[in-house]
Amino acid sequence: MAESGNGTNGMGTVIEILREIAAESRRANDRLDRMEARQDRAEQRQDRMEQRQDRVEQRQDRMEQRQDRVELNLAALAQIVKDGFDRVDKSIQETNRRIDDLNQFLRLQIGAMRGALEHDDQRFAVHARLEDSERRIEALEKKTA
């Protein structure tokens, strides 16, 4: 019986050891599951961070594209303004040239009018002298008649 007790007791110890191994295996599996879950969460966080980084880079690219468009628009606007100023400047120069031409024409006209007025003044003076002479002649004729 002692052998049978030892055998049973030995079997009990083996069963107990197997139970402990099974429990330790379950705990190890649980730890492994938790580690895998942590790893999965870490990978998901990493994926989200990469996605955020991608969105940030895309946003940055869009901002750079907008900046490029703004710079192009500003350059185009500056060219439009410059062209406008050039056209205005040419128009002012042309207007000034026309004003100079008109002033020259008016000076010639004024000179001609002065000449005509001087001629008219001379005619009026001659005419006035003739009338004066005619009156004197008439006065003399009346005296002599």
Collapsed DSSP state (helix, strand, coil) of residue 1: coil
SS3 labels along 64-117 = HHHHHHHHHHHHHHHHHHHHHHHHHHHHHHHHHHHHHHHHHHHHHHHHHHHHHH
- Strands (E) in the chain, as ranges, are none
Task: Take residue 95 and report the two structure tokens written for it.
Answer: 């207007």
Prediction pTM value:
0.47
List the pLDDT tens digit at each of the 145 positions of the chain: 344 444 567 788 999 999 999 999 999 999 999 999 999 999 999 999 999 999 999 999 999 999 999 999 999 999 999 999 999 999 999 999 999 999 899 899 988 888 877 877 788 888 888 888 888 888 888 887 6
Task: Take residue 1 and report the two structure tokens written for it.
Answer: 């019986």
Collapsed DSSP state (helix, strand, coil) of residue 145: coil
Q: Which pLDDT value is given to residue 74?
A: 97
The distance from CA 70 to its chain's CA centroid, rounded to whole angstroms, is 5
